[in-house]
Amino acid sequence: MLMRTDPFREFDRLTQQVFNNVAGTWSRPTAMPMDAYRAGDEFVVAFDLPGIDPDAIELNIERNVLTVKAERRPTVTDESVEMQVSERPLGVFSRQLFLGDTLDTGRIKADYDTGVLTLRIPVAEQAKPRKIEITGGHGARKEIKA
């Protein structure tokens, strides 16, 4: 139902950790950690986005490709303040997921609470299991699960 798009995610994450420890610098787009699972008739994806304002989160879907972008802005903007430690990465975080045709991308619901963006994507009606009625000779009917 879901395919990851970036096979080098761990390499990118390690690179970000090594090169983004310079105070006051903005990072290039990076991946964000996520969990994904199916719960009944919906697919749930949860992204960790701690410290990000909900207005700085952008969700787009085009041709079954879901793009999540979030921007963490500096909390200290006063130039007279001398930063002592700056370890939290700043800048744009992004993630793209290919969603299968079995998901109803027109009915995605998004919720952001305590630093976690949770998306709920319903399973499309045509992908749900259904029973097919079969009629046989002599008017006898039999149901078979499909």
pLDDT tens by residue, 16-31: 555 554 444 454 555 6
- Give tens-digit pLDDT for 34-60: 999 999 999 999 999 988 999 999 999
Which of the four pLDDT bands, split at 50, 70 and 90, describes residue 69?
Answer: very high
Question: Three-state DSSP class for 59?
Answer: strand
The pLDDT score that the predictor gives to residue 25 is 47
First to last CA, the chain: 19
pTM of the shown model = 0.68
d(CA 27, CA 93): 9
Dihedral sign (CA 144, 44, 95, 8): negative
pLDDT tens track for 70-117: 998 888 888 898 888 877 778 888 899 999 888 998 999 999 999 999
> Collapsing DSSP states into helix, strand and coil, what is residue 66?
strand
Domains in the chain, CATH or no CATH each: 2-76+86-145 (2.60.40.790)
